[in-house]
A and B are shown apart, each in its own frame.
Chain A
Amino acid sequence: MPATSPTDGNPGDTGDPLAGLHDALLAWLPTQRWFPAKGRVVAGLRTVSHAVVSAPGETPTVEHAVIGVSFADAADTGGSTEERYQLVLGVQASPPADVEYAVIGRRGEDVVYDGLADGRISRLFLSLITENATRGPLRFVAEPDTEAPIVGPGRPLIGEQSNSSVIYGERAIMKLFRRATAGLNPDLELHRALGRQGSHEVAPLLGAIEGEIDGEPMTVAMLQTYASNSADGWSMAAASVRDLLAEADLRADEVGGDFAGEAHRIGKTVAAVHLELAAALGTHPLDARGASEIEEWMLERLDRAAAAVPGVAEQREAIAAVLRGVSAAEPSTLQRIHGDLHLGQELRTPTGWLVIDFEGEPSKSLADRVRPDSPMRDVAAMLRSFDYAAFHQLSEWEQSADDPDPQLERRAQEWADRNRSAFCDGYAEATGTDPRESPELLRAYELDKAVYEVLYETRNRPSWVSIPLRSMRRLLTPAGRGER
């Protein structure tokens, strides 16, 4: 990859203000949740870009940097040897005690630390956004026609996976995208588009920070309304499943913790997002060429999974036959979609459900993530998520993994069927189109997702692999055709 950064990363280069920090960063990065350290060997680190954001005389000094990290296991990342991450750094000779946990290292007299931990820095960013300021290469942009948030210090959100956020007193949340990628981040792009459609299904966008990389624009961060007092759909579904499995004989529709009402509302919410995205960014007919492109992409993914998982390889032909259902399907349309939907991407608030995190599937390239696709991909992803919710607790209730309890399995399946069906009902109610009326397309997308899950679980969570394998088998038998 050509380096177009102002500094070239040579540790001996005195022009790199982070040069002396590279070892400290190499020690610090693997302790960060957003850094994909698991099973990866870091081969090297360089500074891709660096800029001072704070004005002269402001304390602390605030710096923005993009670093490139190369991994020894490059073959696994599809040929790219380097991944790039954004840092916001606070620099001060003696920083306050409450950022001590975020210290990265020292540079001369100064302590360098993760800037998001410092309330003064998050306050500065918020006020720069409300002022539409430009600092160095960073442009702070308030979303037009939104209420300016009250400026105050933020505090870091704990427990996040791939990005880092700070929360401003339950009013607003700013998300720093850790992966530095050229182009407009679809999370910002789609929130902006949905906000301008007046969507009630997303947390309103309040602003953004934009920068540059490789001479192209890059999304640094986005600011949106904070959905306080919310809980994610996965936790709620898990509570419902637990309530069911704890009963000896009650059916899914008889237990108090029935989730079908919520599943119905989630269906309506996802449908509304699809309608709004279509209205904002348009639709295209899915023609034969488009369908075969989608199939090709699915088949590629199938072959990667088959190469790694014997259980997939054995069924390769049967799976491929289902995936080819995309071409066989009735004419349909393509549009911008969420792309990585699951119950954890939906937040229950006291006024309804919100959909969050429109970044798309993290393993895909930006070009793939912004490519129009069938809304059925999102619908299928939700159906998969209901399966996961239903079956992931079985291991807690079963005597042992080798001795599955058919009664429990049947009840989990009942929960999945009931909620998948309620979700489709809700979706159909809002769009007028029942996803179950396109069984080939839906089944192809669902199986594509299940194959991907089998590969993912085999690599990351072997104890969960039985969940997508079970679904794969169901989707390959005629009884699994369509939704009940």
Chain B
Amino acid sequence: MNEGVSASAIAAAPSDEDHVRDVTEDHGASAVEEPSADDFRHARTLPVDDEWYKRAVFYEVLVRAFADSNRDGFGDLSGLTDKLDYLAWLGVDCIWLPPFYDSPLRDGGYDIRDYRKVLPEFGTVADFVELLDQAHARGIRVITDLVMNHTSDQHHWFQESRRDPDGPYGDFYVWSDDDTRYSDARIIFVDTESSNWTYDSVRGQFYWHRFFSHQPDLNFDNPAVCEAMIDALRFWLDLGIDGFRLDAVPYLYERDGTNGENLSETHAFLKRCRKVVDDEYPGRVLLAEANQWPADVVEYFGDAEVGGDECHMAFHFPLMPRIFMAVRRESRFPISEILAQTPAIPERAQWGIFLRNHDELTLEMVTDDERDYMYAEYAKDPRMKANIGIRRRLAPLLENDRNQLELFTALLLSLPGSPVLYYGDEIGMGDNIWLGDRDGVRSPMQWTPDRNAGFSTCDPGRLNLPIIMDPVYGYQAVNVEAQSNSTASLLHWNRRMIDIRKQHPAFGLGNFHELGGSNPSVLAYVREHVDADGFRDLVLCVNNMSRFPQPVELDLIAWKDCVPTELTGGVPFPAIGELPYLLTLPGHGFYWFAIHEAEER
């Protein structure tokens, strides 16, 4: 999602001197030279694998908050490269980086000033290629956000467009003599914007923007814009990137008489992007960011007849708040309901699911009643609320209850979709609700109990955001080093669960069937996958949403005579017989079982 009302602490970052010169002094030149991928070394590539994103465990890293290699107080790409061994050890398959492009940072980097340049604080394109190369050397893929809908108003395309309506960029944005068109499109940031049109005194016309007024929308009706955007994709794909999370995709086109969302023209352009990927860069993926109901989001997977021909992946937004609600209500139905409403997706498509990410816990996809309920339960302090959501990390949301942390993670790793972990949640990092906007969940990664938590060796006063220092979640109590040394730690537990997930293709590739059962507090389901060789992988997951121990009787007659084998310890459980299968679970407990067909034993 776009960054929302940003009062980011680093909003006033220095602008890029070179660009200002490009735009203001180069009056005679009509088109600005764009760097080419051939100007840079290319990263080594991984073998083409058409299904990697379905099996992968994703890990979202905020470059700024992960590791600082040059002591400036900001995390950077080289710092992240230094930590790849840790991510490989944890079992991460793919790193997702929010935008690292050059940007005035008025919207957390989602306001791109140059699609082919790295934010100087983060490093250079060469640093990125090195990250990619080193990640690939460890079998880890890297994807990043790409904002196609709009640019920063400091992008040279916009500066040219406002200066010279008849020049090559004159038609790159949506200009109008008045502010009356497309009046059916809602205003997204109602707190800061009163219209989707803003008057530009240089050009003497209004320009269209679905988000902030400093983010003019690109004009996709202009074929040159489509070409320029596809060339930007090619630039990074040529360097070796494994895919993009396409930000704010529903809004690419504008049409009178519509709300300007999910238009057929938008889908046509996404199909074109997909074709470029399939033809020229097989094995790379597109992930749609469309915060809509699943029934609408599936449109972004494209035509199911051909297995999907738009985005490979899309986030399942409503699932996450309902996991929280189900546990609080001690009832499986909030989850059962949303999964029952989730339509089937094309053969080559996959959901991305998450518990927490860099945004607040989004409550747009719940009803008003449910939202009030979630606020009451999970945001007892009003400072914890942000926009329509709750800005907490996973551990504080769950009051640092290890049983719940494990249950939530077990759900994330076993429900249908590829799990996306948020950096720091694997060690149970805390948040700082006193920081502005969503910075509370973006504090530096806690590596060690040393100065600056091992994030940076700079003067502590230079840190981009302060380290968490409270007695429960502070870096001296919660850090990677300490947890690496204890096999009973949350970190080791997460690593083991990720490892188990990888041993069973059913988690990533399998279908999903909810079992029901007599106890409404117990959510039970099977994941089943049969591979090309006919090998059947069947996993039974049983989760207790209640804080009290619960019995459940499951109808497992379809697997009569099979022996369920518990996956964390390999202990065989009693064979399945005629009668409903009785299990007892501790409060917030869960089981994963492999079920082998009787004749295969």
> Residues on A close to B: CB < 8 A?
98, 101, 155, 158, 228-231, 235-236, 239-240, 242-243, 246, 254, 256-258, 261, 348, 350-351
**Complex CA distance for A350 and B520, rounded to whole angstroms:** 11
Q: How far is the CA of A100 from the CA of B519 in the complex (A)?
A: 29
B330 touches A243 (CB 8 A): yes
B126 at the interface (CB under 8 A from A): no
| 10 extra interface residue pairs, beta carbon distance < 8 Å, beyond A229-B514, A257-B330 | A158-B580, A231-B520, A236-B331, A236-B333, A240-B329, A240-B330, A243-B330, A243-B547, A258-B329, A258-B373
Measured between beta carbons, the chain A residues less than 8 angstroms from B518 are: 231, 235
Main secondary structure of the interface of B (DSSP, over half): loop
A246 to B521, CA, bound (A): 16
> Within the complex, what minimum Cβ distance (angstroms) separates A252 from chain B?
13
> Are B337 and A351 in touch, CB under 8 angstroms?
yes
How many angstroms from the CA of A261 to the CA of B372 in the assembled complex?
A: 12
Give which listed residue, A101, A235, A256, A351, contacts B329 with CB less than 8 A. A256
Given A158-B579, A257-B329, A261-B369; A239-B521 close (CB under 8 Å): yes
Please report the C-alpha to C-alpha distance between residue A239 and residue B328 in the assembled complex, in whole angstroms.
11
CB-based contact A350/B340 at 8 Å: yes
Given known A236-B331, A243-B330, A350-B337, contact A229–B515 (CB-CB < 8 A)? yes
Count CB-based A-B contacts (< 8 Å). Answer: 63
Contacts of A230 in B (CB 8 A): 516
Chain A nearest CB, measured from B366 CB (Å)? 12
11 A-B residue pairs with CB within 8 Å: A158-B580, A231-B333, A235-B520, A239-B546, A240-B329, A240-B330, A243-B330, A246-B548, A254-B376, A257-B330, A261-B369
Residues of chain A lying within 8 A (CB to CB) of residue B331 = 236, 239, 257
**In the complex, which residues of chain A have a beta carbon less than 8 angstroms from the beta carbon of B521?**
239
User: B548: which A residues are within 8 A, CB to CB?
Assistant: 242, 246
> For the complex, is B578 an interface residue (Cβ under 8 Å from A)?
yes
Least Cβ–Cβ distance between B401 and chain A, in angstroms: 13
A87, B336: Cα distance in complex, Å: 38
Return B399 CB to nearest CB of chain A, in Å: 12
Q: Determine whether B557 belongs to the interface, using a CB cutoff of 8 Å to chain A.
A: yes
Chain B residues within 8 Å of A101, by CB? 578
Whole-angstrom CA separation of A32 from B375 in the bound complex: 50
Residues from chain A with a CB closer than 8 A to the CB of B519 are: 231, 235
What residues of A have a CB within 8 angstroms of the CB of B579 in the complex?
158
> Do B329 and A228 touch (CB < 8 A)?
no
Question: How far is the CB of A437 from the nearest CB of chain B, in Å?
Answer: 25
List the A side residues contacting B337 at CB < 8 Å. 350-351
Q: What is the distance, in angstroms, from B540's C-beta to the closest C-beta of chain A?
A: 15
- Chain B proximity of A171: nearest CB distance (Å): 13
Q: Are B330 and A229 in contact (CB under 8 A)?
A: no
Give the chain B neighbours of A240 by CB distance below 8 A: 329-330
Chain B residues in 8 Å Cβ range of A236? 331, 333, 520
Chain B neighbourhood of A351, CB < 8 A: 337, 340
A258 to B369, CA, bound (A): 12
- Find chain B residues with CB under 8 A from A242 CB: 546, 548
A243 to B331, CA, bound (A): 11
Contact: A229 with B516, CB < 8 Å? yes
**CA A235 – CA B373 in complex, angstroms?**
22
B377 within 8 A of partner (CB): yes
Q: Is B339 an interface residue (CB 8 A)?
A: yes
Binary CB contact string for chain B from 307 to 346 against chain A (1 if under 8 A, 0 otherwise): 0000000000000000000001111110011011100000
Q: Is the CB of B377 within 8 A of A256?
A: yes
Q: Is the CB of A229 within 8 A of B336?
A: yes
Which residues of A sit under 8 angstroms from B515, Cβ to Cβ? 229
- B341-373 contact mask (Cβ, 8 Å, vs A): 1 or 0: 100000000000000000000000000010001
Interface pairs A-B: 3 shortest CB-CB: A229-B516, A231-B520, A350-B340
B555-586 interface bits toward A, Cβ cutoff 8 Å, 1 = contact, 0 = none:
00100000000000000000000111000000
B208 to chain A, nearest CB (A): 40
Complex: A239 Cα to B579 Cα, angstroms: 25
Closest to A98 in B: B578
Contact status of A228 and B578, CB under 8 A, knowing A243-B330, A256-B377, A350-B337: no
Q: Is B578's CB under 8 angstroms from A350's CB?
A: no
Given A158-B579, A239-B330, A242-B548; A348-B369 close (CB under 8 Å): no
Report the minimal beta-carbon distance from A311 to chain B, rounded to whole angstroms: 34
Cα A229 to Cα B517 with chains together (Å): 6
Residue among B373, B520, B546 with most chain A CB within 10 A? B520
**Complexed CA–CA distance, A228 and B518 (Å):** 10
CB B277 to nearest CB in A, in angstroms, measures 35
Q: Which residues of B contact A350 (CB under 8 A)?
A: 333, 336-337, 339-341, 514
> Quick one: CB contact mask for B116-151 with A, threshold 8 Å, 1 for yes?
000000000000000000000000000000000000
In the assembled complex, how far is the CB of residue B358 from the closest CB belonging to chain A, in whole angstroms? 26
A240–B373 alpha-carbon span in the complex (Å):
15
A-chain residues with CB within 8 Å of residue B580 when the two chains form the complex: 158
Shortest Cβ distance from B131 into chain A, in angstroms?
Answer: 42
Bound together, the chains give a CA A242 to CA B519 distance in angstroms of 14
Complex-state Cα separation, A257 to B329, whole angstroms: 4
Which of A229, A239, A261: most chain B CB closer than 10 A?
A229
Nearest CB on A from B71, distance (A): 46
Query: In the complex, what's the smallest C-beta–C-beta distance from B295 to chain A, in angstroms?
Result: 14
The smallest beta-carbon distance between B281 and chain A, in angstroms, is 39
Give the shortest distance, in Å, between A232 (CB) and chain B (any CB): 8
CB neighbours of A155 from chain B (8 A) = 557
B340 near A256 with CB under 8 A, answer: no
Q: Is the CB of B328 within 8 A of A256?
A: yes
Closest to B369 in A: A261
Give the contacting residue for A239; candidates B341, B517, B520, B557; CB below 8 A. B520
CB closest residue in chain A, given B546: A239
Alpha-carbon distance A242/B331, docked complex (angstroms): 12
Min CB distance B312 to A, Å, is 27
The complex places the Cα of A351 from the Cα of B340 at a distance, in Å, of: 8
Q: Is the CB of A348 within 8 A of B333?
A: yes
Count chain A CB atoms within 10 A of each CB in B333, B336, B515, B557 and give the residue with the most: B333
CA–CA, A350 to B326, complex, Å?
13
Contacts of A243 in B (CB 8 A): 330, 546-547
Q: How far is the CB of A287 from chain B (nearest CB, A)?
A: 41
Closest A residue to B550 by CB, please name it: A239
A108 to B418, CA, bound (A): 62
Q: Which residues of B contact A231 (CB under 8 A)?
A: 332-333, 516-520
A182 to B: closest C-beta gap in Å: 34
Closest to B332 in A: A231
The CA of A299 and the CA of B546, in the complex, are separated in Å by 44
Residues of chain A within 8 A of B373, CB atoms compared: 258, 261
Residues on B with beta carbons closer than 8 Å to the beta carbon of A228: 516
Complex: A307 Cα to B546 Cα, angstroms = 44
Identify which of residues 498-546 in chain B touch chain A, using a CB-to-CB cut-off of 8 Å.
514-521, 546
Expressed in whole angstroms, the minimum distance between the Cβ of A155 and any Cβ of chain B is 6
Most buried by A among B331, B339, B521, B547: B331
Looking at the assembled complex, report how far the CB atom of B47 sits from the nearest CB atom of chain A, in whole angstroms: 40
Which residue on chain A has the smallest CB distance to residue B335? A350
Q: Which residues of B contact A254 (CB under 8 A)?
A: 376
| Complex CA–CA separation, A98 to B336 (angstroms) | 33
Chain A residues lying within 8 Å of B329, measured Cβ to Cβ, are 240, 256-258
Bound form: Cα–Cα A101–B577 in Å? 13
Q: What's the least CB distance linking B96 to chain A, in Å?
A: 30
